A and B are shown apart, each in its own frame.
Chain A
Amino acid sequence: MAGVVDVPKPRINCSMLLQHISRPVCFVGRVEKVHPTGKTFTVSDGEGKIATVELNEPLEEELSGIVEVIGIVSTKGVIMASMYNMLREDKGILFDLDLYNEALKVIHDFPQHYPFQVASSG
């Protein structure tokens, strides 16, 4: 899990989950349902598809709205989160998930113009 922090984490949506198994990713989506135990919750991406996120420790706060999750994709397509970041809806400009999804598609359609891998240096 420690390896997640220093490594470039591609931004993905649900349709790209399976291409990133066992790799660290960054997933931005809207919180759908939180499991009563607080250890897992579902998120929907800009296309409306749902992914599951699992946490190490149960949630200590109310999770709602748009959230950015960083973690590794399990073999079953579940995001094993090492950290998450809630984008507050009461502050700043409202996050446009559809627009984010469009941008994601552009980044993945033209990887030659978005060389994120070069970012990590250690």
Chain B
Amino acid sequence: MTKLSEGAIEALSNGTGGNDAVLQCVNIRKIDGGNGPARFRVMMSDGRHTLSSFMLSTQLNIMAEENRLAPNCICVLKKHVTNMLKDGRRIVIILEIDVIKPAEDVAGKIGEPTPYTEGQTKAPQSAPVPESRPPLQPQNRNEVNRGFNRDFGKKAPSAVPNTPGGTSKVVPIASLNPYQSKWTIRARVTNKSTIRTWSNSRGDGKLFSMEVVDESGEIRVTGFNQEVDKFYTLIEVGKVYYISKCSLKIANKQYTSVKNDYEMTFSGESTVIPCDDSCDVPMVQCDFVSISDLENRDKDAIIDVIGVCKSVEEVTRITTKSNREVTKRTLSLMDMSGKVVTVTLWGEEAEKFDGSGQPIVAIKGAKLSDFGGRSLSASFNSTLMINPDIPEAYKLRGWYDKEGHAMDGQSLTELKGGSGGGNTNWKALSDVKTEHLGHGDKADYYTCIATIVYLRKENCLYQACPSQDCNKKVVDQQNGMYRCEKCDKEFPNFKYRLILSANIADYGDNQWVTCFQESAEAILGQNAAYLGQLKDSNETAFDEIFQQANFNTFVFRNRVKLETYNDESRIKATVMDVKPVDHKDYSKRLIMNIRKLAAQ
């Protein structure tokens, strides 16, 4: 094995290094030149130490581009110069270098070199970060597993903060307060919002916010206007930074689930410096709430939740009240409590979400709503994590593969049963009268279980315009043509459509309702065209259909409204949707109601 020149790194770093040192290339990183040519920063090892402050002179760029100079190769440094930086560090510029053993011929790293330090440390092994000021780093850890935390969240702070000779003390996030201004924290960004702009009478502005976490806790940070320009692109979620000199104030708990009494804002003096040695800093701090417990939380609470994505719907587009179009997607999340909740994602998150393979989904800062009972929504402040690398996720995966996948799960979001959208409130038919449903300005909607006791078969069919979306009744011109006033056209044909008048009843009361095409066809079990045909050709068969349909029980979702015709007001009920009775659901509801009544 080729012998490296041990001690050469030390010499080069001190400026006493000579030429012809045999070194091993550990790492090469390309730095985009912007206006000029790219530069390559190299980390070299002499078997004893590594040094990452080697720069390849541009005339040698081709060696790196052609992969002749590649990690692991052994080379001889033939010519170099050293430049001194303002902070006392040395950069070695490689002017001439010979590769004596190509990377493919070298098994791996020779020896166990450690980063050479001279009072100020360098980034060990990971791709060197091109900053001009060396980050203050602890000297106890030399391995590179950044980002892999073992004791998630509860790690005792190791001998981290103080660097000998360093200028700022790193303090834990938990100790930050508005009365101390000179501090630095070392934290990982767990969540970064998008840039939001506003425009009001006082002017325009923009802001972004993020959440950072360290071993002691978490805190929310907001940046406005100039600080947005300064820091927004620099900061990446998941990376660790040294942050200092932001202004602290009491937190506005309404918008965040971050556990800290304070939150902070970037000021003109704030600094953000990337940090490389981050293995001590936990990934993310989440206080997961079990899905079954969501019923006990208040609506609008901000919650962290984790579960298995049991199923996911297609992306849909809806128009908001402010006439904006947004995309959304719902998924159902189940955890070990056996309960399921519906989660709504919005915008790009919704579009990009891939729920195949039942991934573990964790959301930090989701908003709890009482829509459909209990449901969750990912807001612009929430962080969505798919298959996160945290113990909770592994526990869930193990549980799901063993037992969870076979469970049906009880959903909190459809606790009231029936349709997911609109008001799914269950009523008995007598309630409609006693509660004066439909008497207000707007129509009322309710769901009930009732039995059909009468179907009016006379005038249940009408001749409608055959055009695709037009259902207007056509006038029979008596010459084989039918005229539609709405389309202002004549047609040689028409399509039959149903308007069925029925009386439905339950134990307490009955109700006349009108069923249109879809619900009528569902009740009669035949489509309108066929019924029209039968009516004209086979009266007996036509009657038979109505006989069969009578006395069937369904779940009706009705719309009821008070309407006035020439001084007479009457409640008109329309069937919006008809579904077969889900007996299990019905039984559960009945038992629940009985127990509730008994408890009163």
Contact = CB atoms under 8 A, between A and B. Distances in A.
15 contacts: A93-B583, A93-B584, A96-B584, A99-B584, A99-B587, A99-B588, A99-B591, A102-B587, A102-B591, A103-B587, A106-B591, A106-B594, A109-B598, A110-B594, A110-B598
Interface size class of A (residues with CB under 8 A): under 10
Interface size class of B (residues with CB under 8 A): under 10
A47 B598 CA distance: 22
A102 B588 CA distance: 9
Interface string B570-600: 0000000000000110011001001100100
Interface string A84-109: 00000000010010010011001001
Given A93-B583, A93-B584, A103 B598 contact: no
Contacts of B584: 93, 96, 99
A102 B593 CA distance: 13
| Dominant secondary structure of chain B at its interface with chain A | helix
Contacts of B588: 99, 102
A74 to B, nearest CB: 31
B365 to A, nearest CB: 36
B407 to A, nearest CB: 13
Contacts of B583: 93
Contacts of B594: 106, 110
Contacts of B587: 96, 99, 102-103
Interface string B177-200: 000000000000000000000000
B7 to A, nearest CB: 75
B581 to A, nearest CB: 11
Contacts of A109: 598
Interface of B: 583-584, 587-588, 591, 594-595, 598
Given A103-B591, A106-B591, 17 more contacts: A93-B583, A93-B584, A96-B584, A96-B587, A99-B584, A99-B587, A99-B588, A99-B591, A102-B587, A102-B588, A102-B591, A103-B587, A106-B594, A106-B595, A109-B598, A110-B594, A110-B598
| Dominant secondary structure of chain A at its interface with chain B | helix
A99 B587 CA distance: 8
Contacts of B595: 106
B87 to A, nearest CB: 71
Nearest to B595: A106
A103 B587 CA distance: 8
A51 to B, nearest CB: 23
Nearest to A105: B591
A93 B580 CA distance: 13
A4 to B, nearest CB: 27
A44 B86 CA distance: 82
Contacts of B591: 99, 102-103, 106
Contacts of A99: 584, 587-588, 591
Closest CB pairs A-B (n = 5): A102-B591, A99-B587, A106-B594, A96-B584, A106-B591
Contacts of B598: 109-110
A28 to B, nearest CB: 14
Interface in A51-106: 93, 96, 99, 102-103, 106
B590 to A, nearest CB: 8
A102 B598 CA distance: 14
A97 B486 CA distance: 57
A25 B198 CA distance: 73
B216 to A, nearest CB: 46
Contacts of A106: 591, 594-595
A118 to B, nearest CB: 18
A69 B82 CA distance: 95
A81 to B, nearest CB: 26
Nearest to B591: A102
Nearest to A109: B598
Contacts of A103: 587, 591
B331 to A, nearest CB: 26
A106 B591 CA distance: 7
A99 B408 CA distance: 14
B112 to A, nearest CB: 60
B586 to A, nearest CB: 10
A16 to B, nearest CB: 18
A109 B599 CA distance: 12
Nearest to B583: A93
A60 B587 CA distance: 34
B498 to A, nearest CB: 29
A110 B594 CA distance: 10
Nearest to A96: B584
A103 B583 CA distance: 13
A26 to B, nearest CB: 18
A99 B588 CA distance: 7
A34 B14 CA distance: 88
Nearest to A95: B584
A110 B598 CA distance: 9
A93 B595 CA distance: 25
A87 to B, nearest CB: 14
A88 B224 CA distance: 67
A106 B583 CA distance: 17
A102 B595 CA distance: 10
Interface string A106-122: 10011000000000000
A99 B598 CA distance: 18
- Select the residue from A102, A109, A110 with max chain B CB neighbours within 10 A: A102
A38 to B, nearest CB: 31
A14 B56 CA distance: 84
B478 to A, nearest CB: 53
A71 to B, nearest CB: 26
B167 to A, nearest CB: 66
A99 B410 CA distance: 13
A110 B419 CA distance: 32
Contacts of A96: 584, 587
